[in-house]
Structure 1
């Protein structure tokens, strides 16, 4: 006997389960192996399953041909019940194809052909046990690595990877079950970390995790995703108020102060929730939408928010628009619509505001609210603004050639004012289109100016020196800093539509409009009222001190080809055009 064949002693002896419907074969195997192993025998599949359940074996050797249950079928069942057991099968040539197929499927480790030699059987068993021991150690190592990979080192809770893995398992096991993901964000945690140090911050995270686990009990599973973000998985969210109740219990966890070694802290949180399958059917969708709800909760200062698609700006469409923006100008996908601006004293058009639209090949006509912010964020606003300037000025020149005394207005952003040489770009656009600078009105918002007041004032001064007219847009909704208003080289104020739309019914709004108009008059500024929705409001604006107005009551924004027909036929137009006089 070689060293490797030396039988183990005591509790180290491997347990072998021998299965055969022939009693003499079982006796031969028992006599052959019991000096080295703990040998258990069974006469057929049903008995083998019972013995394996009572005492899980390290190795199973089964005959293939047996009544009631073949060896392959038995070993497949044992793979589910005793996954650590190595499975061997004894077979004749006539059954070899079925056995080889079972080996390929992982049901069987190896086969032994009948009739077998004693030495071959001993060697096969020894190798199988060594392989099994190595496989078990490999699985234990994989389990340890998985626990490390799936566990947060600070709190001992599942981390993001572990939470997603568990959520996927539950969704796959019961696709129709109602579950909910609640994300928890601690308020002012960074301040605690920076002030007290990471050691105390980690202590707080551990205590938060412990309280969440204790407070939610068996109804939920808790994880720490990252930083100061925790996740709660409600295992049953079918009840109408289950999610709200879960959020209430989370906030209850934070009702008591947290005792740190150096002081006692009051900590609060925000909670965002998404429900399966209403808000998503995958782990990734639920987490993303719970995150959107959490963002909404933080932004609105509400303690709890459930995902609402109407508040979700973070959509696949948004990403596709971001990706398409850089080339949209060169592909000619943008168009300008124009909304008339009327002189209140003459009751006729004095100019038009150019409003950009995106004619997207997939999404159709995209309104500016859906892409202007994206353009500012990505830097695409610079080429877009230059295109709008050129297109608006070309239309304005065409009107002027018809002796139509119309100006054109264009919106510019904070990014434009921060772009080096922007005033020079505007000058070039005016010169290239053969326009005059005073025909161009550039509209800026108060927040645009206040993003960088010194830079804004410098660039606006350069634009005014060119002869371009400057309009302060949406006045009354931003900072309304009178100190900066006095310094601004503006020509006009545009009163925000929110005050104008309710003019006919709100005495307060009428007073605000009159006050703004009086302020503008004292600063020698013209006043434009936007958002005129009815005839009564239009009639009152001149009496309140406004000079110009625009809104749906006058005209909706229209494509460039519709401008001349509108000017010829609208009561606010210019009458028959020169070509038809």
Structure 2
């Protein structure tokens, strides 16, 4: 509406048209603009290629707009009807104006004139190419004027030099400066042509030819800037894709590494401490193998959505499948890192429970470093994995918290050293230490002559010091070595039993099994093969389940227990009454022996509660024909 009034008063008071002509001219121009917008929308919907839309949108719209304005000018000025040169000059001038100025105006409308001006100012202050380009532009204008003045050319062939200037602007200058420079240069160029033409006597043919050349230059310049901008946008898009995880939209490991390198410094020049929150989903690979990529992808997508809702996605990175790292400054954190991690943990587990069966029982490890200082992504990832493993292993501390990375990385190095030693020992390399077995007597007070033993695993280092399982078994559990260790213990125990002179007199040998071994589909086959090769009687062997992880997958555990019993071996549940062990296990698994945890037996003569617990366990075991120990 404002544009309509401006055009109306311009035609009425400055152009000298009548009231009706001014009104109709203004309305016609506004309608032409509306028609132009509709035509542009039609092109956007018709041309499928984004590159084609950018390339053809402005030139085509400018030509249509110039044609409409020219038709309006002929209607307002009847004397132009037979003056084809004037019509041509007017059409060319309008086309040049729209071609040169439309991209600049669109940029200002899209980003704001203030911001566009500030960016232009900043670019002018730091670009060396601006001065070079200005020098070339001024030189070409001088050459054009000199050729027209002294060359006495009917057609200003020197204007072709201006094409070089426009090409340089499109390719050498920043896009915003290129648009501004092209528009400004074409305006100055037009003024030069018109002024020189008037000085040498008005020649409409020469001016029309110059206008045609300027039009071609403007068209090429606009197309060139659009092509260069499309190329630069493609480069930026590719560079961004290298730093963004395609699944979650968060930063990937390269993005986090780049962010660490650019982490702010303090006044002394040292790296500012950062608060790191690590999340690890160790069971993601199992979901991927059992239920497919789609299910595991949904788990990680849900986690990234939670981070976005908590307004933490800008600080989060997915460095590998199932591993997320958040790096924040103390200024960003509104609460302690442990509180944020605990809030995230509760929210994530709540959301996972609403998903399918694959994610319902997932667990994620959380760790927090309050004063982390490192630019090494490898060290940071190792520390996060170590902290998350500790949080999953410690049921009393759901979020593992450290002040810095040093102590945890030192602990990580020690763990990796242990892993190397144990792997070497399993293949027979005992230079750094070895597994050794002890036999602990199990004595039945009712039958003292019966020989029964429990196999105990220990570690003997290079100095022949004997270490308890608490030193190395937790590490073996975290790094997936328990199945290999259990098989080694079973194989060695059966071999020694087969070679024992009291082999026929030994009634029972108890061998521990971990929950990881119960999940191994080859376990029953291995037990059967070892029994055949050693010649030991199956009824002599009793397998004890000591790892509470068996409870997490009762289906696999039940299949393993039934398979062991079918071979003729016995099965025992160790440390009943602690951890996750409940009476429901006695119902699901038909154990032959039930070892009550010493916590309830130690003070049974003094505590009525302990005595009542033991009596209840004994009563249920009696009904299930299970022997208690």
| TM-score, L = length of structure 2 | 0.44
Query: Which is helix-richer, 1 or 2?
Result: 2
Higher strand proportion: 1
Larger Rg belongs to: 2
Which of structures 1 and 2 has the larger relative contact order (alpha carbons within 8 angstroms, sep 6+)? 1
Normalising by the residue count of structure 1, what TM-score does the alignment of the two structures yield? Answer: 0.47
